[in-house]
Amino acid sequence: MDTIERALEFERTKLKSLSTSDRIKISREAKALILDLNQIYKKKKDERIMDIMKRLTAIKRKVEKRLKGNPLTT
């Protein structure tokens, strides 16, 4: 259950005033945690694990949205 503990700790990290490299690290770490949790979920089918994955995905999307920026409109 070390992966679940790491995921919960990751959720508690502050996401304020991050540099671009910090955002990239956070995005990659979130992706790795989600993939690890998915492997556990495939075996146990525990809804709590699915909820954690959903929350991590929301954090990852928010960080990636900030990395990519807003598209230009013409």
Q: Is 14 inside a domain boundary?
A: no
pLDDT digits (tens, 9 = 90+) for 48-67: 989 999 999 998 998 888 88
Q: Is 37 inside a domain boundary?
A: yes
Residue 38: pLDDT band (50, 70, 90) is: very high
Range of the domain at 26: 2-7+20-67
Q: Is 35 inside a domain boundary?
A: yes
pLDDT digits (tens, 9 = 90+) for 14-35: 878 888 888 889 899 999 999 9
Q: Is 60 inside a domain boundary?
A: yes
Q: Is 15 inside a domain boundary?
A: no
Task: State the pLDDT at residue 1.
Answer: 59
Residue by residue, what is the 3-state secondary structure of 10-74? HHCCCCCCCCHHHHHHHHHHHHHHHHHHHHHHHHHCCHHHHHHHHHHHHHHHHHHHHHHCCCCCC
**What is the value of pTM for the model shown?**
0.79
**What is the number of structural domains in the chain?**
1
Residue 74: pLDDT band (50, 70, 90) is: low
